[in-house]
Amino acid sequence: MPAGAITGGVVEAGEMLTGIPIKDQGLLRQALTHTSYSNEHRDAGVKANERLEFLGDAVLGLVVSDYLYQHYPHLAEGQLTELRARAVCESSLARQARQLGLGSMLRLGKGEEAAGGRNRPSLLADAFEAVVGAVYFEGGFQTARDFIVRQLGNILQGNRPGTGSNFKSALQEYVQGKGGNAPVYRTVKESGPDHARHYVVAVEVDGREVGRGSGRRKQEAEQAAARQALERLRRSKGP
């Protein structure tokens, strides 16, 4: 079998995946193993990527925070928080996972495979975090930092206050411009383990629900809800 060949959704021993600095193929295999697969192979002692995802989430947050702190000394804490959320949101990480081809290499259980898990943004984002955790575990902080900055470079370097879409602010301005009260955000659902929560948020205007959104962080879900609400209200000329 050629070095780096993919079999059963994983990379076999040989060359590291393009763009991923991991030499230990067992570690990489674990990073690409969804819990649905490990549950179906308990007798074989297959480990899922949840622990690596936990580690990667922390490393990712630190690296991005450090990058923003160093490159944007004029920004206040709230602005830095907004930029970090934009850089590490589910859609951003899922996009990088797709560029690395992680979806096609995931080991998934039969049910998750049938449900289209390879293309699910939340699952892809989790896999990217797990790969970051594996890179850090094997190569240390500097290797992980270089990998993250290389992967998220376009986002980090183009990240400026006001250049992203702040749908919450836009929605509030639109609603109040029409004489309505400020939008109210309500968390409808929380799921997932502590290190990988998933939120569903509804936004209401004058007591009426006008949009819903979901995300890995509450702020991300609120932005998604505000975006949907803004689109709906503009179409209907509301509120």
Q: What is the pLDDT of residues 113-133, one digit of tens each?
A: 999 999 988 899 999 999 999
pTM of the model: 0.69
Distance CA 100, CA 134 (A): 15
Please give the residue that has the higher pLDDT: either 135 or 235: 135
Determine contact, residues 33/46, Cβ cutoff 8 Å.
Answer: yes
Range of the domain at 228: 167-236
Are residues 182 and 135 part of one domain?
A: no
Are residues 55 and 118 part of one domain?
A: yes
Structural domain count, the chain: 2
Determine contact, residues 107/139, Cβ cutoff 8 Å.
Answer: no
Would you please indicate which residues are annotated as catalytic (active-site) residues?
Answer: 57, 129
Judge whether residue 137 has pLDDT over 60.
yes
Q: What is the pLDDT of residue 205?
A: 93
User: Nearest CA to 136 among 56, 25, 29?
Assistant: 56
Q: What is the pLDDT of residue 29?
A: 94
Q: What is the pLDDT of residues 206-226, one digit of tens each?
A: 999 999 998 888 888 898 899
Question: DSSP character for 200?
Answer: E
- Report CA-CA distances (Å) from 28 to 25, 73, 106, 136, 169: 5, 36, 10, 12, 41
What is the CB-side half-sphere exposure of residue 138 using CA atoms within 13 A? 19
Are residues 106 and 14 part of one domain?
A: yes
Calculate what percentage of the chain has a pLDDT beyond 70: 88
Judge whether residue 2 has pLDDT over 50.
no
Q: What is the pLDDT of residue 233?
A: 87
Q: What is the pLDDT of residue 231?
A: 85
Are residues 136 and 182 part of one domain?
A: no
Are residues 36 and 59 part of one domain?
A: yes
